[in-house]
Structure 1
Amino acid sequence: MFTTSRGISLILALAISALVAAFLSLMDESTPILLFVAWGVSFSSAYLLISFMLEFLIFKEIGDIYSLMEKIQRKDLSEISEKGRKGSISPLRKINKVINSYAIARQKEIDTLQKNAEFRREFIADISHELKTPIFATQGYIHTLLDGAIDDKQVRMRFLKRAAKSLDSLDILVQDLLTLNQMESGVIKFNFTEFDLQDLLEEVMEELEHKASKREMHIKFDVEPNKHYLTTGDRQKIYRVCQNLIFNAMKYNHNGGEVNITLKTLKNTIQVDVKDDGQGIPPEDLKRIFERFYRVEKSRSKEKGGTGLGLAIVKHILEGHKSKISVSSTVGKGSVFSFSLPLVKIDSPEEKLKVVTL
């Protein structure tokens, strides 16, 4: 009882009221009624004041501190709030705030470590799977040749070509990993120059025209005639961005589908849209498609090839240009990937829309 706020308040109030009554009893004019009234008033006042001070300014704060320490000890920091009580005059409030801030920082640190650990596990599993496929394929072809198939000229040439193709895939994967790592660490520097974005896109379409014709796909290029699309950036890396986006639009499209590339000039930027009418991307996958090795449909993506690093590289290249890649998609209707680059302004005449079809 005497360790609670009420017990301590009772003892102190009795002591204070007794002192007041004893002091008044020394006066000649004091009467028993006066002493009783003075004792009662001083007792009740002291009890209420001390009880309030102990309960709300000390014991409650100590209780909150103890509760925080228990949560930290149990590593249960999920319910800790960043909002502290305002208007408190308790001297322990500052200590409570410091502990609360420490607990919140600890929770954020734990969350970050858990996310990093999960990412490392996924990354190791993904890269092991990606490396295993071409290595095992190459091993199979070479061991088959060593077991006697090398004497058959036709089999030998066919297996050597397949082994070379697997090794080429492995080389592309390693190169993409190195490129992505160098971009993230800042080793790769960007060489910014002025170039025409329309010319660059036409080069990419010309490169992919053969692959499009094999699947009877149509690539449309919408631009405004007599209008310039001069921009600044690393031309080689932007070429890779456009190449990757257009190739993906073809790869995940159906035979006979359409890929529409649009250039639009805004006030200070040029916007590039790459649209397809393919299978689309489910909403739950949209936030993760720019992660390394992430594939919407892993089995089908494996059949289509690729390292699973293309969109991650695209994201880092555009971030190096202080731009962002955005995507909108409807399952069964297709996707639109968009990004913007700065517009270099020059005088230009009136323009009208034209459509270039490959």
Structure 2
Amino acid sequence: MAVIMSVFMFLTSEFHFWWIVGFSLVCYLFCFFIVQYRVERFIYRRIKKIYDDVSLLDSKTLSPTQVTTDMSTLTREVEKFAEDKKLEIETLKVREAYRKEFMGNVSHELKTPLFTVQGYILTLLDGAYKDKAVRKKYLTRASKGVERLIYIVKDLDMITKLETGDLHLKFETFDMVELIQQSFDLLEMKASKKNITLTFDMDYEEPIWVRADKERIQQVLTNLIVNSIKYGKSGGTTEISIENLIKNKVIVRVTDNGEGIEKENIPRLFERFYRVDKSGSRKEGGSGLGLSIVKHIIEAHGEKIYVESVFGVGSEFSFTMEKSQAAPQPSAAAQIT
């Protein structure tokens, strides 16, 4: 009993009391940091494993010294990863649907002339070739089917080259008014068959100089004019205007008073083989690639194309072009001539 009292008195002395408190605090802090270090190492290894398992997360950004911060970073990156994967999956689904639709359209566009040609040839082989009149008629129709196939393949080849950048544009300065008039002259007979008038919105007495690939822009004009003739009304009009847009730009408008396009179809007009007519049959010929080619050519020039249409009233396709400040200078050979 005396020994216990002595120890108690010794411990309760002020000096030894603070010594015990200090020793206890040191032991507590030492144990705390040891445990904290072990916990952090444990969590760090688990987090790094997650980074390594999810290959798109970069474990180089992971720091072993700030586990709490890294947990927040991990959460953000995993959430971003999940969102990106969701978006990627949705994009792949859209592309897959587009691919299936595109392949179906290509198959439809190719098999129609192929089966037509095959039918005429088989009929001739079965003995029809002996009749001179029948032979000539069937060979003529088969030839038209082959021409349609060639037309489709050429258009597909052009779109592929435009998309991959293999089709190089030859920029030059030319008169847009003259080019439009040439397009009118080329398509005058086609328009007259439907009693459609090709015209300017006004008399352009002065040239309007632009800088672009003349051959490709004529192709754009031809496709747009042909399109307006196909879906135009008998006795209707296809009108082209050229307007100043900004200092170095003009906008060319091709307007008709034809069938028009329903609003829900407008966003997809420039897709390859997209059909406004859902019946699956075309009232008019063509490869079904005309508007897609137009869009690619205009965008290859770094310009924009627009479409406005009211169903039953008519449509307007317009595209911008770079204006040239001066007429082209004649070459030295031309001056000598």
TM-score computed with the length of structure 1 as normaliser: 0.70
Deviations 1:104-129 (A, max 9, x none): 11112212211221121111111111
Q: Among 243, 265, 274, which residue is 1:285 paired with?
A: 265
Q: Which residue of 2 aligns with 1:328?
A: 308
Per-residue deviation at 1:301? 6.1
Give me the CA root mean square deviation.
2.2
Q: Where does 1:272-311 land on structure 2 (aligned, <5 Å)?
A: 272-299=252-279, 302-311=282-291
Matched ranges for 1:209-220 at <5 A: 209-220=188-199
Residue 211 of structure 1 deviates from its aligned partner by: 1.1
Q: 1:339 aligned to 2:313?
A: no
Matched with 1:184 is 163
Aligned residues: 267
* Residues 304, 27 of structure 1: alpha-carbon distance in 2 compared, 3 angstrom cutoff: farther
Task: Tell me whether 1:156 sits opposite 2:135 in the alignment.
Answer: yes
| Equivalent in 140, 143, 147 of residue 122 of structure 2 | 143
Q: What's the CA shift for 1:196? A: 0.8
User: Which letter does structure 1 place at the counterpart of 2:191?
Assistant: A
Cross-structure match for 2:82:
103
User: 2:113 — aligned with what?
Assistant: 134
Residue 313 of structure 1 corresponds to which residue in structure 2?
Answer: 293
- Structure 1's 154 and 27: CA in aligned 2 closer, same or farther, altered over 3 A? farther
Once residues 281 and 269 of structure 1 are traced to their aligned partners in structure 2, the CA distance between those partners, rounded to angstroms, is: 28
Q: Which residue pairs with 1:169 in the alignment?
A: 148
Q: Using a 3 Å threshold, how does the CA distance of structure 1 residues 156 and 274 change in structure 2: closer, same or farther?
A: same
Structure 2 letter corresponding to 1:340:
T
Runs of at least 4 residues off by over 2 Å? 26-29, 89-92, 222-228, 298-301
Q: Secondary structure at the match of 1:322?
A: coil
Counterpart for residue 96 of structure 2: 117
Distance 2:157 2:90 in 1: 28
Identify the residue that residue 241 of structure 2 maps to in structure 1.
262
Q: Which shows bigger deviation, 92-101 or 200-209?
A: 92-101
The superposition leaves residues 147-205 of structure 1 with CA deviations (integer Å, 9 ceiling, x where unpaired) of: 11111111111111000001100110011111111111111111111111111100000
Distance in 2 (CA, whole Å) between partners of 1:218 and 1:274 is 13
Question: Is the Cα–Cα contact under 8 Å of residues 223 and 263 in structure 1 kept in the other structure?
Answer: no
Whole-Å separation in 2 of the counterparts to 1:341 and 1:95: 49
Aligned partner of residue 250 in structure 1, secondary structure: helix
- Cα offset for 1:255? 1.1
Give the CA deviation at 1:304.
0.5
The gaps in structure 2 that reach 5 residues or longer are 1-10, 15-42, 55-67, 328-337
Residue pair 2:183, 2:222 contacting (<8 A) in 1 also: yes
Per-residue deviation at 1:298? 4.6
Shift of 1:28: 9.2
* CA deviation after TM superposition for structure 1 residue 305, in Å: 0.7
Deviates more, 1:308-317 or 1:293-302: 293-302
Kindly indicate whether the alpha-carbon contact (under 8 Å) linking 2:177 and 2:204 is maintained by their aligned counterparts in 1: no
Mapped to 2, the partners of 1:181 and 1:118 lie a distance apart of 20
Query: Could you say what secondary structure the match of 2:320 adopts?
Result: strand
Which TM-score applies when normalising by structure 2? 0.75
Structure 2: how far apart are the matches of 1:113 and 1:309? Answer: 24
Partner of 1:4: none
Tell me what 1:356 maps to: none
| CA displacement 1:19-73 (0-9 Å, x = unmatched) | xxxxxxx9799xxxxxxxxxxxxxxxxxxxxxxxxxxxx9xxx9xx9xxxxxx9x
Return the offset for 1:345: 2.1
Cα 1:193–1:27 change in 2 (3 A) is farther
Q: 2:260·2:313 contact (CA, 8 Å) conserved in 1? A: yes
Separation in 2 of the partners of 1:334 and 1:265? Answer: 23
Does structure 2 conserve the Cα–Cα contact (< 8 Å) formed by 1:180 and 1:313? yes
- Partner Cα separation in structure 1 for residue 225 and residue 281 of structure 2: 16
The range that moved more, 331-340 or 298-307, is 298-307
Distance 1:221 1:92 in 2: 68
Are the equivalent residues in 1 in contact too, given 2:232–2:258 (CA < 8 A)?
yes
Aligned identity (percent) is: 42
Structure 1's unaligned 5+ residue stretches are 1-25, 30-57, 66-71, 73-88, 349-358
